[in-house]
Every structure is written in structure tokens, then in C-alpha cells.
Amino acid sequence: MDVNLTCNLRYHNKVALVTGGSKGIGEGTVRVFVRNGAKVAFCARGEEAGKKLESEVNQLGPGECFFIKCDVQKEDDIKRTIQSTIDKFGQLDCLINNAGWHPPEQVIDDISVDDLKSLLNFNLINYFAFAKYSLPHLRKTKGNIINMSSLVAKLGQSHAIPYVCTKGAIDAFSRALAIDEAKHGVRVNTVSPGNIWTPLWDSLARQSSNPEAMVEGGRDAQLNGRFGSIEESGQVCLFLAAEATFTTGIDFLLSGGAELNYGRKSQMVERTNIYD
């Protein structure tokens, strides 16, 4: 490879593992890291989508990627995924915990205890397990963990109690882990996306009572009046992995400013005069 090109690659010959990497934010992250010279293992349940992305990205380079079929709700699958990454690339420098799910709109009356337990297992426990079994390898490389949280862990979200609970727990888990792993030289940070246009966002909008209004509201929540992209999400992860070496325990809001200027909430309650 040309020496000048190598010097411009921000994660050249580093190894990253991306969970939920076949589509959405995970896909954007895989693409950005490979474009910057990384060796990327990524996992997902959908084998067809995973193999398709692997083939496409490997043709573009200059890094490379490797798909592993994995159900992140199964501990044995998680262990196998990490070991497959080590077997393939020999080391691990960055774990990006991204796999998760956002249920359709629901209120507490319609949410069972088992529903909450199931989503906690899907969205939170898999992060814990991937971190636990990756850390022996990350400690060797003084690597880092990036946990994908959400802006709604800070702001709340209507009709999404289980999802918000899981993302709030990810924030707390990440801060605690950052403290414990500092002595090993492992950094732990979170990224909290706001409205990033993904297949999941599209699916949730289509399931709502007014898809067009939901998309319009999601777009208009940002100061710049647009959704973020999956590749912009990947760029933030790359920055945290490659350049932000004096950063641990922080939460990067990838929000387009959606949390600023109080937001727009008047549609949720009857308007009142504050002087009454």
C-alpha cells in the first residue's frame, strides 16, 4: 500500500468489532472504519444482509471486514463472536456495542413485566456480555469500548418506557465501567444518537398512526432540519476510537441540537396561560 495513503488512514491495521453491524448505525460504522484502514468484524442475526455488506465493503477497502452470524441474546454466540474475531485478526482494539431494538409505541398499561425483562436482555445485557468477554483482549491493546446509547436516555420519550430504561442503564453501566477499566488503560465512552435515519426509524414510522407526521416531527426536531446519517454516526465512533485518547466516561450527543431551545412539547398537553 502507498505510504502516503497509509499515513492518511485513521485506524490503519486496528481491529474493531461492531455488533448489529449489518444495517443502520452499525453498517455506517463498518463502512467508515474499513474506509480508514481498519480490520472490522461485525455481527448480526441476518446472514444475507451481513454477507452482502461484507462482500461490498471488501471490494472498496482499504481495510477489510468479516461477518459473523450472532444472536446477541445468546451468551454462547457472544463468546463465539469474540473468539472468531481474535482467530481472524489476532487482536481487538475497539468494541462498538450497537445491537439493540426499539419497540413500537406503547404505554405502561400495555407493557408486561416480561416485555421489560426481554428488552433489558436484548439492549443491555448483551452490552455487558460483549464487554466482559472482550476486555481480556482490549486490555492487551489498551483499547476502547463505545456503547451506543440514545438521546432519549437523557430527555425521555413518549410511549417508549422500556427502551428509555435500557438506554439509561447503558449510560450508567458505561460510566462505572470507565472507572474500573482506567487502570488497565481501556477507555469506555457512549454515543447518544438523536434522530438518525435508519431502517428501524423507517419501520417505526410506518407502524405509527400517522407515518408522514412522525417523519416530519423527527426531521424538524433538529436545528438544521434534517435527520443524521448512518455514516455520520460512524464518523463519531471513529473519532472516539482513533483521536479522542484523553476521553473516557463521556457521552457524545449525536443529536443535531435536538435537545436545545427546550424542544417542542406544547402538542403533548393542553395549552395554558402561565399567568392564570
**Alpha helices (H) in 69-224, listed in sequence order:** 75-89, 113-120, 126-141, 152-155, 161-181, 199-207, 211-220
Which pLDDT belongs to residue 273?
40
Catalytic entry in 11, 163, 262, 275: 163
Name the DSSP letter for residue 163. Answer: H
Which pLDDT belongs to residue 206?
87
Average pLDDT score, the chain: 92
pLDDT-derived band at 199 (thresholds 50, 70, 90) equals: confident
Assess whether pLDDT exceeds 60 at residue 188: yes
Which pLDDT belongs to residue 2?
58
Average pLDDT over residues 37-46: 97
Residue 268, domain member (yes or no): no
Residue 123, domain member (yes or no): yes
Share of the chain above pLDDT 70, in %: 92
Which pLDDT belongs to residue 204?
81
Average pLDDT over residues 33-60: 97
Which pLDDT belongs to residue 271?
40
Average pLDDT over residues 152-173: 95
Which pLDDT belongs to residue 268?
43
Number of domains in the chain: 1
Dihedral of CA atoms 184, 94, 20, 189 in degrees, nearest 10, equals: 60
Residue 271, domain member (yes or no): no
What is the extent of the structural domain holding 117? 3-256
pLDDT-derived band at 212 (thresholds 50, 70, 90) equals: confident
Residue 272, domain member (yes or no): no
Which pLDDT belongs to residue 4?
56
Residue 262, domain member (yes or no): no
Assess whether pLDDT exceeds 60 at residue 3: no
List pLDDT tens digits, range 52-105. Answer: 999 999 999 999 999 999 999 999 999 999 999 999 999 999 999 999 999 988
Residue 274, domain member (yes or no): no
Q: Are 33 and 11 in contact (CB under 8 A)?
A: yes
Residue 266, domain member (yes or no): no
Residue 63, domain member (yes or no): yes
Task: Judge if pTM exceeds 0.85.
Answer: yes
133 is annotated as an active-site residue: no
Tally helices (H) and strands (E) across the chain. Answer: 11, 7
CATH number, position 85: 3.40.50.720
Candidate from 20-34, 37-51, 198-212, 242-256 with smallest mean pLDDT: 198-212
d(CA 149, CA 136): 23
List pLDDT tens digits, range 232-265. Answer: 999 999 999 999 999 999 999 999 999 988 665 4
Share of the chain above pLDDT 90, in %: 78
